[in-house]
Structure 1
Amino acid sequence: MSISNIVNNEVDSIVRLGETIVKKASTARSSLEGSDLAEVTSWVTRVGQLILKLYGENSQHYKNYTNAIGIDNFYVIHSNWYGHVSQVHGVALTVKHDIENDLIANIKGLLQAEIFANFLEIGEHLLNEGYKDAAAVTIGAVLEDGLRELSKKNDIAVVKPNGAPKTIEPLNTELAQNEVYSKLVQKQVTSFAHIRNKAAHGQYDEYDVSQVQMMLLFVQGFSEQYLS
């Protein structure tokens, strides 16, 4: 799964949850409490994190978001008081619109080093929490998109003649052939790509935590050296 797909999945999840929350709020006779309120808090946090990563704190999107959550008694939510929640949902819908219409690239490219760093932090967090398989998939996505971005910078095609996107190994081979990096780096990329593929195909017993840790360190160094 690529970084773009990860972002798309998160946006879709946030929008679906927002629709549920707005519907629930519009029919609530009393203020949302307990698990319902916890769900709202998590949703609001996720929306804010996503906007910061994609647009930055000086963007109009983030200003609209902070204005919505900055009102007094934000977490008082019921059928007579939920317009502020609808505003947050509206911002999430705008992000979805931007991504679906390829407008996000004009705001802040998804393949910049800062975005790579954000997703590597997610991978590191997953690893530290004991989710080695999810970490391997996330870190592998950073590696694949990094190779694709590096290929673009060096005028190497990132799609096959039939229009299908090239996967890690073809990109890796051509980057090494064009001396963008050494044969040693090529072998390391191949090794860690195998771990990513095993994680993506549910072969969880064929690699261990230490290998994913080494993968994280490699991709961090690779990103700093070639993508900064």
Structure 2
Amino acid sequence: MNSTQKHYVARLQELIDQSKEIEALVNYSGEEYFVLSYIEDQALLNAWLIKIKSIIEATFGKTSPYFKGLRELTEKDIHEKSQINAIKGLLIGSLDDLENGFLIGQEFLIAGEIFDSVLEEAKELLNAGYKDPAAILGRVVLEDSLRRLAPQEQLDDTQKATKLNDDLKKAGRYNQVQWRQIQVWLDVGNNAAHGKFDQYSKEQVNEQIEGIERFIASEFKV
């Protein structure tokens, strides 16, 4: 879990803990057979709800089940403990999913889709005869993918791509054969980035892009 995810976990736990304070705001009035519940301190309630909306949106996105569920729970005025408990339950569920890797899976799914799009662009460039920018795009996708894999193995994701490749192999993320292939793909991209255009061929760029595609499909499945 990276620092951002840890921050999300801490924030969700803080809001879960605060639900007790919000529950205590509920007051009751009326006769024995006609009791009304209400929350007098609307400012504190609204602040809590706004913070919840913010963290759920930032963590899971507006299209997530959690955000949609929160919207349904807050459509009506909040004035009962049962309503507060329902929102608390949503927070507990979101925290559990986050701690057990749901967000990582979601990030990998989104990243995989973006990588596919960039690699398609690289293919188009290659087919149009532009092998050098195609190789650079392949290199960019590969480096970004290695940086996303590193935190899963408790590795520093700020290192250079070649060092990340070494460390991921040592951590057992993939074997010697995969490590060697990745190094070749990085070399092709590095040569392109440094203007050494005669050090690789169009066929090697094609192998680079296709190999990276297979690697993404394997490592970024959820």
C-alpha distance in 2 between matches for 1:178 and 1:226: 15
Alignment RMSD (CA, Å): 2.4
Displacement of 1:152: 1.8
Q: Paired residue for 2:119?
A: 120
The answer as to 2:222 corresponding to 1:202 is no
C-alpha distance in 2 between matches for 1:154 and 1:127: 34
Q: Which has the larger radius of gyration?
A: 2
Q: Paired residue for 2:139?
A: 140
Letter in 2 for 1:182: N
What is the TM-score when the length of structure 2 is the normalising length?
0.50
The answer as to 2:166 corresponding to 1:173 is yes
Q: 1:157 aligns to what SS in structure 2? A: coil
Segments of 5+ residues of structure 2 without an aligned counterpart are 1-62, 64-105
C-alpha distance in 1 between matches for 2:115 and 2:154: 21
C-alpha distance in 2 between matches for 1:109 and 1:225: 15
Segments of 5+ residues of structure 1 without an aligned counterpart are 1-57, 59-107, 160-165
Q: 2:192 aligns to what SS in structure 1? A: helix
C-alpha distance in 1 between matches for 2:107 and 2:175: 27
1:177-196 matches, within 5 Å, as 177-196=170-189
C-alpha distance in 1 between matches for 2:151 and 2:128: 34
Percent of aligned pairs sharing the same letter: 31
C-alpha distance in 1 between matches for 2:149 and 2:107: 14
Displacement of 1:155: 1.9
Which is strand-richer, 1 or 2?
Answer: 2
Q: Paired residue for 1:69?
A: none
Q: Paired residue for 1:89?
A: none
C-alpha distance in 2 between matches for 1:123 and 1:109: 22
Letter in 2 for 1:134: P
Aligned length: 119
Q: Paired residue for 1:130?
A: 129
Displacement of 1:109: 5.5
Letter in 1 for 2:151: K
Among 192, 204, 210, the alignment partner of 1:217 is: 210
C-alpha distance in 1 between matches for 2:124 and 2:149: 26
Q: 1:112 aligns to what SS in structure 2? A: helix
Deviations along 1:164-184, whole A, 9 cap, x unmatched? xx1111000000000100011
Displacement of 1:153: 2.2
Runs of 4+ in 1 over 2 A off after TM superposition: 108-111
C-alpha distance in 2 between matches for 1:139 and 1:180: 21
What is the TM-score when the length of structure 1 is the normalising length?
0.49
